[in-house]
Amino acid sequence: MKNPLSQKMTILLLSSAVGIGGAGVAGTSFLSQFTPTQINEAKSQPAASQEQVINQFLDEKEGNRLKAYRDGKGIWTICRGVTRIDGKPVREGMIVNQSFCDVVNSQEADKSIAWVRKNVPVKLNIIQEVGIASFCPYNLGADKCRYTNGRKTRFWSYIEQGDIKNACKHIPDWIFDNGKDCRIKSNGCLGQVNRRQQEEYLCLYQMGEAQ
């Protein structure tokens, strides 16, 4: 699968395998996906932690706002896509500072990773955990990725079977926003298609191995 990630995400992931203190198991087929410049840059920096990877990815996908705004469904949201703080809904007019968002964002990212470790019955590497955590529960929601109209989704059926490869391949099924097909540019939600492709890539990611 062709790498759909940003340059910064690419270097972070590559550093996990070849960076200082990294896994150090990158074979020729794996490295062939990257340019010599990317490889040298990744080798020169410390191996990226899972926290760095998920925070960079969610920053790119969610953005970070210090003033409450309505999301695509009209729900009041703040920081990095957060709709509830301390169990209470974000309200209109709420304004916070960056330090507050840093704490909340970190807590929400940690919750998402913990959910993956609790609910996915297969050992995943740290990058795969990020891919699933971003998709489900962080963006789509834990319930929606498992059941749609009362029926178990193909994604979750494969997860329960321990078939991570096929589960990941169904992440791009979710490319509709409020009934709009996000593949159609004029619907204004093409970013969701890109996000699903990137989450699939992360979900399939094998450190030090070719896709």
Catalytic residues, which ones? Answer: 62, 71
- At residue 37, what is the residue type? T
Quote the CA–CA distance of 143 and 139 in Å, as a whole number: 11
Count CB neighbours of 155 within 10 A.
24
Beta partners for residue 79, in sequence order: 65
Residue carrying the six token digits 């709709």: 83
What are the helix (H) ranges across 50-177?
50-62, 98-119, 126-133, 142-146, 154-161, 164-169
Distance of CA 99 to the CA centre of its chain: 22
- CA 193 from centroid of its chain's CA atoms: 13
The SS3 of residue 177 is strand
